Amino acid sequence: MGEFDCYCLLCSGPLVPCDIGSTSRARLTQRRRRIAKKLLAIEEGRSFDSFASDSDEEAGHDSESDCQEGDGDGEVWEQDERRSYDPDVAGNELVGWVEDIRVLGVDGGGRAFVSGRANYDDAGLIYVEQGDDPNQPSISEKPYYDCYVPSNDNEVVFPFHTHCMLVFEEAFKWSCTHSRRGKESLDLTTLYKTATRIGSLTNLNLDYGGISGVDQCWECIPGEEYSVIDPLRFSLDALDFIYKWPSAANPSQPTGSKAKGTETEKVIIDPFNSLPIEILHLICGHLPADALQYFLAASVTAYYATKNESFWKALCLERVPWAWEVWRDIDGDGEKEVVDTKQGKGKVGVNYKKLFFCLERNTEQKFGLGVENRGWLGLVNRRRIWDVCVRVSGEYWEDRKGVDG
């Protein structure tokens, strides 16, 4: 069958180290120029070959001599640069987590286990170390397995990143609460059954958010660095501008003399003024963030129906549960403790509406997220993985029905 990669059960990301590009200024300039061209092509609906060679005409100057002049880290082939990540966006400290792998398997008695650390080899073969799970067979008898399908006539396991499993555990707890199931513990045997049922050759038969790196072997696509950034990497400092200066303009929202969704806009006819507030809340709860902003600008009725802070708090917890550290950092009274250089330590009220739009916009998954988005990329990837985990949880509950009767 030849060499091929298998991918994480939960994020469909690589199980092997990522390739990082040159740190030379010339190479970085060329890389970012290429990404800008691809982004423009995407916006215009044109195709763009990420791996095609750059021509001197496209680069606007002699790209070869430019890149040779300042490669401080040795010779880096252009071909490698087109199949590697931006070192300023996806440094080793942000992508090294993909090598922290475990597998979900079952022993001879049908009991599920999670292995110790695992190392992916090739063509579906993965080696495991002994872990703490008493159900894991001894590695003296079972040192290696096959991922997803018995490619090498070994027993089948499902590989995952440990950080992705932590995201899954949070999503599983949320799904239990959201579906009013209470505090149910995760049954690994059922999860193994679910993975077997919806598995394909190298990952699960699910939508992993449209990432492009999944191929016969993982492709490090420049401009898609977010797909391999550690999903547990996010600093609450990114939200300081909301907490410390609550009256300041949100940099992620458009500004102007008439901000969308404010009393300054004049609405002559509002077809929604006869709807009950509960229906308006349902409509708002299902609209994407941008569409919701336009709706609030178009309908003064909807705008006033959502003035209550409790609406935005509920919407945040319903639509943005993947930002769990944000909500845990806010106390029960809806206040956040901050430290201000002038006023010292104290508490400020939380503007859930600003938080909602800030988190939604800054974690939108799209091609070309770069250095300026670096502080948000972990959360962008977590949001993508969370959506997969929620779908896996839904499939899991279907299989639990058969077990519970």
**Average pLDDT for residues 123-137, to the nearest whole number?**
97
When pLDDT is cut at 50, 70 and 90, the band that residue 246 belongs to is very low
More confident residue, 60 or 320: 320
Q: What is the pLDDT of residue 151?
A: 82
Average confidence (pLDDT) over 162-186: 90
For the chain, give every domain's residue range: 25-83, 95-230+382-404, 236-367
pLDDT band, very low/low/confident/very high, at 239 (cuts 50, 70, 90): confident
pLDDT tens figures, 333-384:
666 766 554 555 667 778 899 999 999 999 999 999 999 999 999 999 999 9
3-state secondary structure labels for all residues of the chain: CCCCCCCCCCCCCCCCCCCECCCCHHHHHHHHHHHHHHHHHHHCCCCCCCCCCCCHHHHCCCHHHHHHCCCCCCCCCHHHHCCCECCCCCCHHHHHHHHCEEEEEECCCCCEEECCCEEEEECCEEEECCCCCCCCCCCCCCCEEEECCCCCCCCEEEEEEHHHHHHHHHHHHHHHHHCCCCCCCCCHHHHHHHHHHHECCCCECCCCCCCCCCCCCCCCCCCCHHHHCCCCCCCHHHHHHHHHCCCCCCCCCCCCCCCCCCCCCCCCCCCCCCCCHHHHHHHHHHCCHHHHHHHHHHCHHHHHHCCCHHHHHHHHHHHCCCCHHHHHCCCCCCEEEEEECCCEEEEEECCHHHHHHHHHHHCCCCCCCCHHHHHHHHHHHHHHHHHHHHHHHHHHHHHHHHHHC
The predicted pLDDT at position 240 comes to 76
Q: CA-to-CA distance for 350 and 334, rounded, in angstroms?
A: 6
| pLDDT for the residue numbered 70 | 44
- For residue 73, the model assigns a pLDDT of 47
What is the predicted pLDDT for the residue at 350? 86
Between 342 and 248, the more confident residue is 342
Min mean pLDDT across 131-135, 153-157, 336-340 is at 336-340
Please tell me the predicted confidence (pLDDT) of residue 317.
Answer: 93
Q: Is the pLDDT of residue 403 over 90?
A: no
pLDDT score for 75:
44
